[in-house]
Amino acid sequence: MFSERTGYIIWVNDLKAARSLDKYGNVYYMSRKMHYVVMYMNADRAEDTVRNIQRLPFVKRIERSYRNEIKTEYNSDVPDKTRFYSL
């Protein structure tokens, strides 16, 4: 149904030229102050797409986002101590 997506942070020199990154994937955020672009693309074609993006003259560096790999379900084995301090 939905294809697997991966996120990338792309550091750029020129934000006006970075608008053209839209054809490589979905541009989620562009930081004007720090000059980076957060974008998502299909995981199966990500390696080829990153190679093509690195060739662009305004791209400084590309970092992969590890947001998908971070554990977001939390469980606590330690009992909650707040009930001992209630009035």
Give the whole-angstrom CA distance, residue 22 versus residue 26. Answer: 6
E strands present in the chain:
5-12, 26-31, 36-42, 59-64
39 neighbors 8 (Cβ within 8 angstroms):
yes
pTM of the model: 0.78
Whether residue 87 is predicted with pLDDT greater than 70 in this model: the reply is no
pLDDT digits (tens, 9 = 90+) for 39-51: 999 999 999 999 9
Whether residue 81 is predicted with pLDDT greater than 80 in this model: the reply is no
Q: Domains of the chain, with CATH numbers?
A: 5-66 (3.30.70.80)
Angle at 53 between CA 52 and CA 56, to 5 degrees: 100
Angle at 37 between CA 8 and CA 53, to 5 degrees: 65
Beta pairing, strands 36-42 & 5-12: antiparallel
